[in-house]
Structure 1
Amino acid sequence: MCAAVDPVGGDDLCAVGDRNVETAVEHFGRYGDGAVATRRAGTLLVASRTDFAGAFHNTALRVSPDTAPGQVLDEARAFGAAHDRDIVLWVATHRDQDLAKEARASGFELRSTAPGMALRTPPPAPAVPADVELIRVTDCADSEAFAAVHRDVFANAGRPAEAVDHFASPDALLAPNVTAVLARVNGTPASCAMLIRTGPTAGIYWVATTPTTRNRGLGTLVTTAVARLAFDHGAETVILQATELGAPVYHRIGFTNFTTYDRFLLPRPVRSASQRRDAAEETDVLQ
């Protein structure tokens, strides 16, 4: 069920939150270096250039709730086979219980759970430390600095640094519906966040702080800054999906849980020769 942030509009909040997630998944599929994005049978499917099994990299998302769960899984598995990728299946707990049941019955692993959170009023302006410069990402150099923060984080976590190109390319960060911010400490990129707008809703994504500059409140700083920019540009609601590490930070800012998103891992099947040919000749890429 969808829990309302306030007494009015709980179901609407889930709907706009889902729409923003859908837009974000599609956005990175459009602008990720070498990525493929397509829609089949009410399912949004994305394959990244890398085989990193991230929630936004190699992904299946049911966008039509009336699509049968078995059909969603069939499309996701076929897409994973065609592109030789493990696929992360998104399941919104307020609407996709049938899909979750089918995924579990098929033996798929629950990879992660992320609370969906929302904010309806601008947070107070953050205090910026004297050695910190907070800027908006406005050009390719800023985009590269944003990506550098994430490459540091990915490398520290043992993840492939090249996977950052899926979401932190200049095209992804400088798109008209995107606003991104970057914090530098003594001139060095240290923390960042981005938001993607869908009408009166803005979603915050890819909040990160380099390992050497953590525990200074920089994650709070960039999240608050980008949320305020969203409201400045007319947003009525700001949403995000929180990691376990980030959830306490977002609660302190004022975000409140309204749902949960589960992510199941669908391992790649063995591809046939014809499936490999189909992947090479993919034509239904979203333009």
Structure 2
Amino acid sequence: MYKRLERNDPCWCGSGKKYKACHAAFDDKLIQLEHKGFRIPTRDLLKTEKDIEGIKKSAVINMAVLDEIGDKIRAGMTTQEIDDIVYNTTIKMGGIPADLNYEGFPKSVCTSINEEVCHGIPSEDVILQDGDIINVDCSTILDGYFSDSSRMFCIGNVSPEKKRLVDVTKECLEVGLKAVIPWTPIGDMGHAVHQHALDNGYTVVKEIGGHGCGKEFHEEPFVSYVSRPGTGMIMVPGMVFTIEPMVNMGTDEIFCDEENGWTVYTADLKPSAQWEVELLVTETGYELLCW
């Protein structure tokens, strides 16, 4: 049960204001939604102004790293070279690659090519070829705050079929952003993403989705892109989460590499694409923090 404070108590958000002048009406709204059976975020998931500023500073590094990749990525480059750029640029700017050693992940970034859905591990043995599509998923820690985003890159002469997949996946992300409406269920947003993919002849991975982010790498809620309208946590101003649909050209079925325990592939080995942004829910919609 979401509990209110006494009216003259200091507000839980740390603003220094009295509760009645700060978040009392906000909490009343949450309590009403909870009574109606909706899932609402706990207070630790709502970011303060200090938290948001910290995430934004982390995101400056994350986006600079992806910009650097965009300038240098090319056919003939190894994915280990991408990892080296991520590590060196992040450290030079004062950050820490969040992926490095996270739950045993051995590299600083995920590089997922063609039929690799996610969590591709950089290697000296993996060389980018003309016609490849690759997702570079980068995450940064700065002063304890986490930023997370990914971009797709088309290498050389990419087939029209792959290019369309990349473009429609970005459209799915944009559709999701338009559906970030404060005080509505996050399932509405996920359903909109899924429907756009289906309308274009694609499928969306069920088992892996977005996540809360900011004070930890992965926080609640899990963000599904095959959700039903009216379900899931209410999107409340102050929440920070990622939108990152993984859209497949063929089946939505996937499997994980048994040898490395990380890399996820499409079951039919047809291409997959993903774009990722990190956003803040506001009173009027959303603010992009990292893209």
Using the size of structure 1 for normalisation, the TM-score is 0.29
Larger strand percent: 1
Larger helix percent: 1
Using the size of structure 2 for normalisation, the TM-score is 0.29
| Larger-Rg structure | 2
More relative contact order in 1 or in 2 (CA 8 Å, sep 6+)? Answer: 1
